[in-house]
Amino acid sequence: MRLEIEDSATLTFDDGSPVRSASAIASFGDGWLVVQDDATHAAWWRPDSITPVRVIDPIGGLDEFSAAAGTKHLKPDFEAACALAGGQVLLLGSGSSPNRMRASLVGSSGYTVADLRPLYLAVAAALGLAEEQLNLEGACLVGDRLRWFQRGNLTAGAPSASADVDAAALLAAVRGEAPPDLVRVGEVRVHDLGDVDGVAFAVTDAVTLPDGRVLVSAAAEDTPNAVDDGPVLASGLALLDGGFVEIPGAEKVEGLTIREVTGDGVRLHAVVDADDYDAPSRRLALRLILR
């Protein structure tokens, strides 16, 4: 594989405020929905504007959350976004605390939020993890399944792994048509992506390629648990059936989506979380050559 960075820019709303803590990106309407993990709004990035889109009601009367303000524990922490047929986007919380075990189904006419705690606990059990180790940061649709990725942390005894869940049943639970404890958890896979100076690369997002293979973004972040940030030693893109390419500059890519399929690979949008509440997130236009 070979990677080219075709473009890079910061993300700011039309009013000049920064798009913070970008954690996922998915196609939405005539643009892209960029998820902020520490806010109740996502950013709708279109050719000539970036505007807020509410994805969950205020939490504790707040719309933004930070460690400096002592409100980080309240944030919804949506970390995965999947575009669905019909134009909706499914957002999934990381599961790293009980209030982060929610999903939001976002469309042009609004959003529906569901508490999926029973499903998150079932996924943790399938992965062999304690509840406090859970940190689901990426997801992609593979046929009729949603493949949900645990961002591993070997220091905390949690390898990078994935669990398949029935996509139709998951959406029924989000829409309130069925209880979340009926969503079946299927095949589990463990993903060893290598390490840098003993810090393992861990999955931060995933996309399904046209040929059915899964491409993930990964970061080697030196952190002791699923909540605290740490220094990022390196990052890259990996094909789960083999192949890895490093992203220059140790960019902490947390969101990944396909923008174009080419004759020799794909062009991607990636969003970078700076782990700095006051700093705008960046987006990268990437070209990945697969052959």
Whichever domain contains 244, its CATH number is 2.120.10.100
| Domain presence at residue 289 | no
Please check the confidence at residue 226 and state whether its pLDDT lies above 60.
no
Whether 150 is in a domain gets the answer yes
Lowest mean pLDDT among 89-103, 116-130, 193-207: 193-207
- Render pLDDT for 19-41 as a digit per residue (tens, 0 to 9): 999 999 999 999 999 999 999 99
Q: What is the reported pTM?
A: 0.94
What pLDDT is attached to residue 74? 94
Confidence at 154, pLDDT banded by 50, 70, 90? confident
151: in domain: yes
Q: Binning pLDDT at 50, 70 and 90, where does residue 67 land?
A: confident
Structurally, how many domains does the chain consist of? 1
291, part of any domain: no
- In terms of residue numbers, what domain contains 67? 2-273
Q: Does some domain include residue 279?
A: no
Give the closest residue to 216 by CA, choosing from 194, 199, 232. Answer: 194
pLDDT digits (tens, 9 = 90+) for 235-283: 999 999 888 999 987 678 999 999 999 999 999 999 998 767 778 999 9
